Amino acid sequence: MKICKTNKVATHTSVASSFGLFDIEKGEFMYDKLALLGIDKSFLPGVTADSVIIGKCREIPVSVPLGDNQASFLGSVNNNQDSILVNIGTGSQISAVSEGFEPTSDIEIRPFIEGKYLACGSALCGGFAYSMVETFFRNYMVSAGMQDVTQYKIINQLALDAYENGEKGLDVDVSFFGKRSDPSKRGSIKMIDRENFTPSALVLGVLRGMCNELYELYEGFEEKKMFLPQLLMSAEAAKAAFEVIKSHMAGSGNTAKRGPIVIATVHGDIHDIGKNIVKLLLENYGFDVIDLGKDVPTKAVVDAVVSHHAPLVGLSALMTTTVPAMEETVRRLKALPSPPAVVVGGAVVSPG
């Protein structure tokens, strides 16, 4: 405001989400909850998901502020869609662009730009573990009657020598402050023997432990289907492949029309590869498929079933957060005077 000399208070969703009581999916504050707490919403800034220009400073356009993690990502990587950012300071974190919204106990989802999210895995200890090692050696020096001076130069050299000499190092778990999913967890030092119980092995082991902690968070991106750019690129390739397959299959199936069948990816979910495969096979066997697309509201599904007199509905979902939307859609369909048969599919309804 001071920079632009304006009374307009505005911020980006990436900043507003850090205030608390903010619905990340909707991109707005939880005004109903704030009202219960007696908080006047007029005290809150205006919120936008776009990079809006709010004024000028010496004729230079000034945009709404971005969150520090989001700004760091944008300023550090060459390609938002094909990059992973690692930050190590007092703590440490790993970030990647995500199309989907599915937080876990260890992975946080933050608003980003252009309607996307930033999946972020943060270690509670991170770089502070290396500071603990430096403090350990410094305390020894003081106890030995030596000067209280920084030991970073020495431990850096110890780690480098150990790495270049091929030392195995110690197996160090640096969860000294616990984990987000398990605050009671503590770190450990394992695989100690008479050959590696050395200062250099300890320093190298802590550094490797810091790396391993971030790599485990990265693996969590894939295991929890955090929709990294590589997966998105695969999805686009699959869609192109469907068109090629469809052209080859045209006329090879049953030409007698059957159906109709309404299919859709439920509200809140943008994943449609499985749905598209089912559609392709059904059409090849002569079914009249009414494909409503992805992120389809419940009402749109019900309206399509009624207008087309569809006896069968197929619903798809990948994200666990969209299970309630699937349940509501099925409930509304079953409440119709002539309820259709409903088939559900997707990772969230599949065993394992």
Q: What percent of the chain has a predicted confidence (pLDDT) above 70?
A: 88
- CATH fold group of domain 79-105+120-227: Nucleotidyltransferase; domain 5 (3.30.420)
- Closest to 93 in 3D by CA, of 136, 124, 70: 124
Partnered with residue 257 across adjacent β-strands are none
Q: Say if residue 148's pLDDT is above 90.
A: yes
Q: What percent of the chain has a predicted confidence (pLDDT) above 90?
A: 32
CB hemisphere CA count around 91 (13 angstroms): 12
Question: For residue 99, what are the CA distances in angstroms to 93, 114, 119, 268?
Answer: 19, 10, 9, 11
Residue 226: the pLDDT is 44
Please identify which residue in the block is written with the tokens 């440490």: 92
- Closest to 74 in 3D by CA, of 58, 63, 61, 90: 63
Q: Which tokens sit at 259?
A: 């159906």
Residue positions counted in the chain:
352
H or E element at residue 121: strand 117-123
Domain boundary assignment for the chain: 1-65, 79-105+120-227, 250-349
- Residue 97 carries which side chain, given as an amino acid letter? V
Average pLDDT of the segment spanning 2-21:
82
pLDDT tens digit sequence for 26-51? 888 898 888 888 888 888 888 888 87
Contact 151, 134 (CB under 8 A): yes
Average pLDDT of the segment spanning 260-273:
86
Q: What spatial distance separates the first Cα and last Cα of the chain, rounded to whole Å?
A: 52
Partnered with residue 46 across adjacent β-strands are 10
Whole-number Å distance between alpha carbons of 105 and 215: 16
3-class DSSP state of 261? strand
Name the pTM for this structure: 0.58
Q: Which tokens sit at 182?
A: 């398990």
The residue ranking higher by pLDDT, 102 or 143, is 143
Whole-number Å distance between alpha carbons of 190 and 291: 56
Average pLDDT of the segment spanning 196-204:
93
Q: Which CATH code for domain 250-349?
A: 3.40.50.280
The residue ranking higher by pLDDT, 274 or 344, is 344
pLDDT tens digit sequence for 201-221? 999 999 999 988 888 888 777
The residue ranking higher by pLDDT, 222 or 88, is 88
pLDDT tens digit sequence for 288-301? 899 999 889 999 99
Q: Say if residue 234's pLDDT is above 60.
A: no
